[in-house]
Amino acid sequence: MQHATDPTDQASTARAFVSLAETLQKAADAVRHDPATACCCIERAAALLREVQARHAMLDEPPVRAKQSGLARWQFNRIVAHIDSNIDRSLRMRDLAQLIDLSASHFARAFRQRAGTSPRSFVLERRVTRAKMLMRTTDMPLSEIALACGLSDQAHLSRIFRRSTGVTPNAWRRDRRDREKQGTAAAAPGIAGSIESRPDF
C-alpha cells in the first residue's frame, strides 16, 4: 500500500489543490453571469476535496481488507471522488484501477464486491445523477447537459437516462417543474392568509 506521505502522493495531492483553487476561482468568476457553470465548478471542487480526503484515509485501514471484502473504504471513496470530479470526461476502467494500484480485472471484481455493481454501471448511474442535478438546478439544454455529464450527445443521454429511470430526460424535467409549481401554489394561500391576518401598527 502506498503511504500517504510518499513523494508521489504528495505531488498528486499538490496537483489536486492547484486544480481545486482554479476550479473555485472559475466558480467565483461565473457565479453571477453563468450560474450553471458555477454550479458545475462547485460540484467538481467538492469531488476534488473528497478525493484528497480518500487518499489520506488509506492509513485508516490495513491493506488486507481489500482482499477480504472487495475494495477497502478508502479505495472505494477515492474511486468515487475521482469519478465525480471527472464525470464530464471519458472514464476507463484501467485508469480507475491504476488509481489504487490494481489490475483492471482485479479492480473490476473488487469493485463489484464492494458496490454491488460493475464499474461501468456505477459510472453511468453517477452520470445520470449529475444530469438530474443539472436539470433540477439550471436551464441548460439537454445537449449541453449531456456533454457536462461526459456523454457524447443528447441521444446518448436519453438512452441511459431512460434505462435508469424509465422516463426520458424531458419528461423527468417537466415532472419536476410541475411538482415545484404545485408546491409553490399550495404554499401561497397560507402565506397570504398570514399576511392578511397580521394586525396593523
Average pLDDT, the chain: 81
pLDDT digits (tens, 9 = 90+) for 77-99: 999 999 999 999 999 999 999 99
64 in any annotated domain:
yes
105 in any annotated domain:
yes
Query: What is the residue range of 31's domain?
Result: 7-169
198 in any annotated domain:
no
43 in any annotated domain:
yes
Q: What average pLDDT does the segment 27-44 reach?
A: 72
179 in any annotated domain:
no
- Of the candidates 175, 174, 145, the one whose C-alpha atom is nearest the C-alpha of residue 160 is 145
Domain count, the chain: 1
Is pLDDT of 134 > 50?
Answer: yes
192 in any annotated domain:
no
Is pLDDT of 147 > 60?
Answer: yes
Cβ neighbours of residue 67 under 8 Å, at least 6 residues apart? none
Query: Which is more confidently placed, 160 or 12?
Result: 160
Quote the distance between the C-alpha of residue 62 and its chain's center.
27
pLDDT recorded at residue 16: 65
CATH number of the domain enclosing 106: 1.10.10.60
- Of the candidates 105, 30, 116, the one whose C-alpha atom is nearest the C-alpha of residue 69 is 116
- Name the CA radius of gyration of the chain, rounded: 21
Q: What average pLDDT does the segment 27-32 reach?
A: 72
pLDDT digits (tens, 9 = 90+) for 67-79: 456 999 999 999 9
45 in any annotated domain:
yes
13 in any annotated domain:
yes
| Burial of 97: CB neighbours in 10 Å, binned 0-12, 13-18, 19+ | buried
